């Protein structure tokens, strides 16, 4: 049985991934690494919890040794728009933090999951059907940390045999924990605003296509890549994975099918727009499909039904 540490377990992905990993591998085998944000009661009471700041290598090594950890999911990061506002902090968490994780993994023979992103591409990348192996010259600090992370992770695999694996996540849409400061956050916020106020102001322009994925598929990607047969992996850090691609008009019309009086207007955020314009419209994820059987379940229609159900229920109970 694996012994897993999730760094960043109260974040958008971490909060759901930690619980899913506990379901699969057993509560006691999955340590939730937290920093400043208080964990939910469910997270705190269902298994071990430790303070883990990836930028503190001694603290990290201590937790890995205490629990005999063999697999680290390193989800600590600042999302793209926040990283533009705080580039030094983004580098520190995204690169120095990952370096510490890889060093501790090397010394303690752990596998490492690294979440890269559509942000690892830039405006010189082919943005339609973006290939697995292509130009990666991002113009954002977020992208710089992701490309550096991909290279470092591949280096640790080739040089030291550390079992590093990762995916390039698109925008992740979920209904438990909100993302914070990402360029793709609008595709989460639009559902909450549709349910709560029937009105949404979109920060990205009409025609801005981006890859997206519903959380259950994102969790599946993170778990399946770590379970994949290593002999089948030609790539490691990191695989393109996508489930759908849409622009604001398409998601707006999809939600409007269920909430006919929902209204959307635009107020373009120039920072987010320029980031989004440099990211793929749609990635080609053939390598992930061929090498470890990636196959997402949710498309826009199915995701929208589920999102509106879950958020609608929370709204009715006064939880939003
Ligand atoms: N969701 C991320 C962001 O928008 C992209 O990986 O920053």
Please count the other Cβ atoms lying within 10 Å of the Cβ belonging to residue 53: 17
Ligand 1 centroid to residue 44 C-alpha, Å: 26
Closest CA to 162 of 214, 215, 221, 99: 99
- Spatial distance between the Cα atoms of 204 and 271, rounded to a whole number of angstroms: 10
pLDDT tens for 157-204 read 999 999 999 999 999 999 999 988 999 999 999 999 999 999 999 999
Query: H or E element: which one contains 199?
Result: strand 199-202
Residue-wise pLDDT for 46-94, tens only, equals 999 999 999 999 999 999 999 999 999 999 999 999 999 999 999 999 9
What's the rounded Cα separation, in Å, for the pair 183 and 82?
9
pLDDT at 219 over 90: yes
CA of 306 to the centre of ligand 1 (A): 22
Q: Token pair 């009105």 is at which residue?
A: 199
Choose one of 178, 179, 277 to mutate for the ligand 1 pocket test, by most ligand atoms within 8 angstroms of C-beta. 179
Distance (Å, whole) CA 30 – CA 53: 17
Q: Among 75, 171, 186, which is best to mutate for testing ligand 1, by the most ligand atoms less than 8 A from CB?
A: 171
Token representation of residue 46: 């269902």
* Ligand 1 mean position, distance from CA 164 (Å): 21
Q: What's the mean pLDDT in 112-137?
A: 98
Give the chain's domains with CATH numbers. Answer: 4-170+213-240 (3.40.50.720), 174-212+244-280+299-316 (3.90.25)
- What pTM does this model have? 0.96
């Amino acid at each position: 049985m694996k012994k897993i540490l999730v760094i960043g377990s109260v974040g958008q992905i971490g909060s759901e991934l930690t619980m899913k990993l506990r379901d699969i591998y057993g509560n006691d085998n999955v340590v939730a690494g937290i920093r400043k944000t208080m964990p939910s009661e469910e997270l705190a009471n269902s298994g071990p919890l430790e303070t883990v700041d990836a930028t503190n290598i001694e603290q990290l090594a201590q937790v890995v040794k205490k629990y005999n950890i063999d697999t680290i999911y390193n989800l600590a990061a600042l999302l793209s728009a926040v990283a533009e506002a705080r580039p030094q902090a983004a580098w520190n968490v995204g690169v120095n933090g990952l370096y510490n994780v890889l060093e501790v993994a090397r010394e303690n023979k752990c596998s490492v999951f690294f979440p890269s992103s559509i942000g690892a591409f830039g405006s010189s990348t082919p943005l339609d059907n973006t290939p697995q192996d292509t130009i990666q010259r991002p113009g954002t600090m977020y992208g710089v940390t992701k490309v550096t992370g991909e290279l470092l992770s591949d280096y640790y695999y080739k040089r030291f045999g550390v079992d590093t694996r990762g995916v390039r996540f698109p925008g992740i849409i979920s209904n438990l924990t909100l993302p914070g400061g990402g360029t793709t956050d609008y595709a989460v916020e639009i559902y909450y605003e549709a349910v709560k106020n029937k009105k949404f102001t979109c920060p990205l322009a009409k025609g801005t296509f981006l890859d997206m994925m519903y959380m259950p598929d994102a969790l599946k990607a993170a778990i399946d890549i770590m379970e994949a047969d290593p002999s089948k992996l030609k790539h490691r850090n990191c695989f393109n994975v996508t489930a759908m691609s849409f622009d604001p008009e398409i998601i707006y019309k999809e939600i409007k099918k269920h909430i006919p009086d929902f209204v959307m207007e635009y107020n373009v955020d120039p920072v987010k727009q320029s980031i989004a314009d440099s990211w793929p419209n749609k990635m080609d994820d053939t390598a992930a499909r061929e090498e470890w059987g990636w196959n997402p379940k949710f498309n826009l229609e199915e995701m929208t039904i589920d999102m509106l159900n879950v958020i609608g229920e929370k709204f009715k109970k006064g939880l939003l």
